[in-house]
Structure 1
Amino acid sequence: MADVHDSETRSRNMAAIRGGNTKPEMQIRRGLHAAGLRFRLHAKDLPGKPDLVFPRWRAVVFVNGCFWHQHDCHLFKWPGTRQAFWRDKIGRNAANDAKAVAALRAAGWRVGSVWECALKGRTKLDSSETMRCLADWIRSDLETITIQGG
């Protein structure tokens, strides 16, 4: 009986995790909108369903959670329980990310990534500088940008 309860609790906990409209994503959206940039959200017709799409500049931005996308920073730590499950799940996420970026690049899209550690935690960057840097990249012709905590 305990297994059923544990399974139900895990399912509820996993269902509570948001895939979009996260706090870091909302912070980026607000900052870029204030900078005069307009975008599409979560484009299902593009590989990886990018968080923000800027068709005018042929650019997409992913706002990645450090835990869910296996970033090498202080916000990522392997869970102590169900280690095989988590290594498989997070490993799949990272592999899917790489495939999506490759497919987008092959289709002529410029790809930007903003990591959660750039926006929160002990390595967070100055938010106005982060927004300026990202907005400048979107308006440029540079192929990629990665913004992560310092």
Structure 2
Amino acid sequence: MTNDWEPPEGSWASSAARRLNMQAIRSRDTKPERLIRRLVHASGLRYRVAARPLPDLRRTADLVFRPVKVAVFIDGCYWHGCPEHYVPPKTNPGYWSEKVARNMARDRDTDERLTEAGWLVLRFWEHQDSAACALSIVNTVRERRHALPG
């Protein structure tokens, strides 16, 4: 069987193998997300997964605690430009570096919009200790619960 696949002109996929590789990358339910969710759930907190904090905003947070307005994002080091671990790509660097820069700009915009709407945004890198991230989330949510009127 021959591989006659050709990327469309201007495509982000530099090869069929690269295209398959990129399509296989999970946008949700990554290992760090699942581990942090498991730890937060074990502490007794309940949350929405991959939900829009604001209905009008076409962006989802990894964990959403609606009553206390806390949105949690667990960012991948490559896709969100981690200052410690991001390595610019060797293949099609113009496209991918611009993509990561757009992701970072969208993250800042998301943070601003949620903050303006009264939400607290918590962001963690995928390489951070999951137990420490979960503890921070649990403590923050509990503090905000106690601060609610009523």
Distance 1:98 1:129, change over 3 A: closer
Q: Does 1:30 align with 2:38?
A: yes
Which letter does structure 2 place at the counterpart of 1:30? Answer: R
Q: What is the alpha-carbon distance in structure 2 between the residues aligned to residue 135 and residue 76 of structure 1?
A: 28
Residue 20 of structure 1 and its aligned partner are, at CA, apart by 0.3
Structure 1 length as normaliser, TM-score?
A: 0.79
Q: Which amino acid aligns with 2:36?
A: I
What's the counterpart of residue 77 of structure 2? 66
Percent of residue pairs identical:
37
- Equivalenced residues, count: 133
**Aligned pairs for 1:35-114 within 5 A:** 35-44=43-52, 46=54, 47=57, 48-73=59-84, 75-114=85-124
Q: Which amino acid aligns with 1:50?
A: A
| Residues 28 and 11 (structure 1), Cα distance of their counterparts in 2 relative to 1, 3 Å cut | same
Give the letter for the 1:136 counterpart.
N
- For the structure 1 residues 129 and 62, does the alpha-carbon distance in structure 2 shift closer, same or farther, using more than 3 Å as the test? closer
Higher gyration radius (CA): 2
Structure 2 portions without partners, runs of 5+? 8-13, 145-150
Match of 1:38, SS state, is coil
- For residues 130 and 61 of structure 1, what CA distance do their matches in structure 2 show? 10
Q: Are the counterparts in 1 of residues 50 and 61 from structure 2 also a CA contact under 8 Å?
A: yes
Q: How far is the alpha carbon of 1:102 from its aligned partner? A: 0.8
Counterpart of 1:4 in structure 2: which amino acid? E
Deviations 1:88-118 (A, max 9, x none): 1101111111111111111111110111121
Matched, 1:16 2:28: no
- What stretches of structure 1 of length at least 5 have no aligned partner? 120-126, 142-150
How far apart are 1:81 and its partner, in Å? 2.1
Alignment of 1:130-141 (within 5 A): 130-141=133-144
RMSD: 2.0
Distance (whole Å) between structure 1 residues aligned to residue 82 and residue 27 of structure 2: 17
